[in-house]
Amino acid sequence: MVYGLLAAAIVFGLGAFGASIGNGMIFSKTIEGISRQPELRGSLQTTAFIGVGLVEALPIISLVLAFILMGQAE
């Protein structure tokens, strides 16, 4: 059985799910904020990218784990 490949797929699949939901929430609120106050566009964009950098930390770590697990597949 290829437990390593299966584990890698599950790890990164769930991580990707979390990353997409998190980024989607961040940007939907950002777009809403920009539509309410267009003059704050630069500041809101910057904060959104900071948020993306933070939210994507754990899914990226799960990607690295997936690579390690793939290397251990039999």
Partner 1 sequence: MKGVKSSNMDHLVPIIKIFGIEFDLAAILMVVLSSIIVFVLARLAVRNLSVENPGKLQNFLEWVVEFVQSIIGMATDFKRGRVYTGLGLALIMYIFVSNMLGLPFGIVSEAHDNQIPKVFGQELIVKGEHEHLAWLWWKSPTADMAMTMALALTVIVLSHIQGVRHNRKHYLKHYFEPWPFFLPINLIETAAKPLTLGLRLYGNIYAGEVMIGIILGMGWVGIPALMVWQGFSIFVGAIQAFVFTMLTMVYIGQASIHDEH
Select the span of 16-24, 33-41, 63-71 touching partner 1 (CB under 8 A): 63-71
In the bound state with partner 1, the residue whose beta carbon lies nearer, of 3 and 49, is 49
Amino acid of residue 32:
E
Does the footprint of partner 1 cover residue 60 (CB under 8 A)? yes
Instruction: Please report, as ranges, the residues that interact with partner 1 according to CB under 8 A.
Output: 46, 49-50, 52-54, 56-58, 60-61, 63-64, 67, 70-71, 73
